[in-house]
Structure 1
Amino acid sequence: MMRFGERQMKLRHRLREQNLDGLLVTHIPNIRYVTGFTGSTAMLLITDLEALFVTDSRYVVQASQQVTGRVVKVEESYLKTAGEAIQEAKLRRVGFESAHMTHQQLNALFQHVSGNVVFVPTGEVVETLRQVKEPEEAEAIRQAVQLTSEVFEEFIEEIKPGVRERDLALELEYRLRQRGAEKLSFDTIIASGHRSALPHGIASDKRIDQGFVVCDFGIVLDGYCSDMTRTVYLGNPDSRAREIYDTVLSAQLNCEEHMRAGMENRAMDALTRDVITARGYGDQYGHGTGHGVGLEVHESPRISKTANGTVPAGAVVTVEPGIYVPDWGGVRIEDIVVVTETGCEVLTPTPKELMVL
């Protein structure tokens, strides 16, 4: 059972710290986190006294069954209803999710409140709460990861010469849905041969041939995401291929061995980056080490060389270093882990030794 009441109390505490009378939440994953709503359209006004949930006729019944809070039906527009609620509650300083509200929407909201209301752009207020996963959330992610891994290990036999990347992706996605996935958490990446050097090489019409095949995919199960990458080799890998694969694996294992709660995001990123750079491939590793996973497949915290802050205990993150050599190929290996005070718990069970097919 998710703890929506506790989450709302924590959010109210954050609002008091920022001297806010209320917060207008417009990002659907944040609304789900705070209320339990699984639909696709809503707004939420959190005040010190209540959680006011605004939705339209399509979702009123669903919201009344799911939502922790008072449900209000939209009559004309979402922003008009939200503005009227702000007026009725006599709020003066109201935060809004600046990353999830357009300038046009904010101007429209102004039309429905008096001049006494001050709207304050907020950063990742709800997202910061979401970083630390409750035990129930970690278990939901564990189940999604387990299903993803099981299906991949059965799917590997389908990777054969002459098969199109797109057809492999279709087969993998079908098996995932057949086993219970609600949907994919992102577009499946199947990138083979020289295309494996594309970090986000969405499956194409290219036919599989000798070389690396990067498989990066994930699902949504009970609202929570998985994300995993394994790289296999079709044919007989030469010394360069083995060296690059071993470098990526060494970097990933180094991070998983030494990461722990309280580390700076940048320091955690350095656990992979320093290994790859020391072996001469730093210029071929352009992305960050990882990111948070939860209701969204990419969420806070970010683990990169430019990220600020520290990684808290209870965060669920990816560890996914890679090396990408243009016109030759690339390797990425990705696990999901739970960060703890003393290290991490690796959730992804699929073996990481180089699989040669």
Structure 2
Amino acid sequence: MPSAALHTVHVPLEGRAYDILIGPGLLEGAGERLKAQFPGRRFGIVTDTEVARAQLPRLTASLDAAGLNHATVTVPNGEASKSFSRLNEVVEAILAARLERGDIIIALGGGVVGDLAGFAAAVARRGMDFVQVPTSLLAQVDSSVGGKTGINSPHGKNLIGAFHQPRLVLADLDALATLPPREFAAGYAEVAKYGLIDDEAYFFWLEENQREIFEGGPARAEAIARACAAKTRFVLADEKETGVRALLNLGHTFGHALETATGYSSRLLHGEGVAIGMVLAHQFSASKGLAPSQDTGRVIQHLKAAGLPTRIADIAGDKLDADELLRNIAQDKKVVRGALTFILTRGIGKAFIEKNVAPDEVRAFLGEALKA
């Protein structure tokens, strides 16, 4: 990959400010950086089996070179690790390593590891500091930023968790070189989301630079930095998601319902669910006369060019059921006193929060979407 400059996005939360660093070689420099920022601390690394093979040696060599004491706990790769049993395993490993409340948990991995390790840090010893070291595109532009941590329930995705901000985010661009193409494409759905929410100019820039982003040129670092800056803006305005931060869930209500219906399995990666969900949100908005249908076509074309699914029918395996999807939607965190809330749109870059959406209307729409 061509050399890229270090980008820094500052998250100025009062009393809990932190930086997101984006660039190559950050894992090799992590030891000295952590030693300088957190003197005298010990470190507990949480990672998964796949990342442990590809990236853990880079991090541990850096920590060793800086003379930092560290312990590691490794969980299985995949969404199934966002469970109570794995949370218990991670917390017990933290305690067994005799890590103290003032020590640091490092989340080394994708969104699953970041959510799990962050939640473990939030509850172990009633709260420990943690550092996000996201190794997937999805984690670098979304889950590592903003302090959402948690695990899944059979009732739905991310229903158990806490808001717990990291102290530092190190987004190493070199880690993306080992991602399978499907994983990179899934992460790109979250990149595109920021343009679709409220920044059509960014979406247009993505259309112009999509190829370079996928090939690893300088546009990749810029795309990640701009996505992180966009998310930071929403986090600063609404840290606990009681208002405008909900716009970041464009496509997620439908997407989470699809993930739950497919059992959080390899049939559907999170970013793939978001891609289909964003298309469904645009189609649902167009069906209500809120958004121009040509914008929906533009979204579909862009996501398809990224290698992403855009229809429910694109999901491999057994056909899904509209009633089951609606039941999953009813468990979504954005439901308020039983009323359905969706992030809809008036066109690209014009997302808004729509409350009190009629379940029958959603059921009819899903019935048609399942036929497409």
Query: So what's the TM-score if we normalise by structure 2?
Result: 0.26
Query: So what's the TM-score if we normalise by structure 1?
Result: 0.27
Q: Which has the larger radius of gyration?
A: 1
Per residue, is there more strand in 1 or in 2? 1
